[in-house]
Structure 1
């Protein structure tokens, strides 16, 4: 596939994610997709594998985090790798604490399917927003 086709696959993936179109999202993801979200002490951190892992992390995201994207991401691509670069703002629902996250997703596309996602995010901002105080309250 061409670099432009790979970028379009990633744009379609983001559109399906943002629109909650689970069927389209799974159609764009390889069966053995691996999504790595770095960090500790915040709800989405970890390695998520396969369609079940993808569905699980997106479900958890909708339950745990309110996120908005004030501007569309920038896409930079070479071959089968597409970098999506953007900013997210939002809050962790359990603590009601806000965050601002400058992020880069390093995405690999093969044969028209997203096979790997590695996030580079502000893990400290997300962990801080996830912290409870000593009483267990935000």
Structure 2
């Protein structure tokens, strides 16, 4: 498995194009984010998405409502072991309220047949909440 597959998948996710996003996911894909993360709180969503349709809808419709423009993902490391991939990355964006967003992430990805089957996302939730809301909501 080439690290380029993962980089291309993240470009598809950041591009908000439903067809490109759908093409990198298994039908029964899952995306698990930390509970109380800024994105879920701001969008009134959940932190565990199940199924290609739910993940596509999130990245194509919901994600751009918060991360309005200039979304960029910088890869610091892509570590591959068969169909398991660990990705160290930083994401920056301009939020819908005009604030700058910048946070570090770790994604643990399970592939199946060359497609993303499961993502476990790790992120500094307190930092994200401060950037989105100005302080950590109680």
SS of the equivalent of 1:53 reads: helix
Structure 1 counterpart of 2:121, from 111, 119, 122: 119
SS of the equivalent of 2:38 reads: coil
Structure 1 counterpart of 2:86, from 83, 100, 108: 83
Structure 2 counterpart of 1:102, from 104, 119, 122: 104
Structure 2 length-normalised TM: 0.77
Ranked by relative contact order (alpha carbons within 8 Å, sequence separation 6 or more), the top structure is 1
Once the two structures are superposed, residues 53-103 of structure 1 have per-residue CA deviations (whole angstroms, 9 ceiling, x without a partner) of: 112221211111245336344211111111121111234424x44332111
Once the two structures are superposed, residues 82-131 of structure 1 have per-residue CA deviations (whole angstroms, 9 ceiling, x without a partner) of: 1121111234424x443321111111101111100111111111112232
Alignment of 1:48 with 2:44, yes or no, is no
Counterpart mapping for 1:1-138 below 5 A: 4-5=1-2, 7-40=3-36, 42-44=38-40, 46-58=47-59, 59-66=61-68, 68-69=71-72, 71-94=74-97, 96-131=98-133
Unaligned runs of 5+ in 2: 41-45
Distance 2:85 2:73 in 1: 21
SS of the equivalent of 2:39 reads: coil
Deviation at 1:38, TM superposition (A): 1.0
Structure 1 length-normalised TM: 0.77
SS of the equivalent of 2:23 reads: helix
Unaligned runs of 5+ in 1: 134-138
- Going from structure 1 to structure 2, the CA distance change for 1:8 and 1:93 (only over 3 Å counts) comes to same
* Alignment RMSD (CA, Å): 2.4
How many residues align? The count is: 128
- Going from structure 1 to structure 2, the CA distance change for 1:41 and 1:103 (only over 3 Å counts) comes to closer
Distance 2:100 2:79 in 1: 28
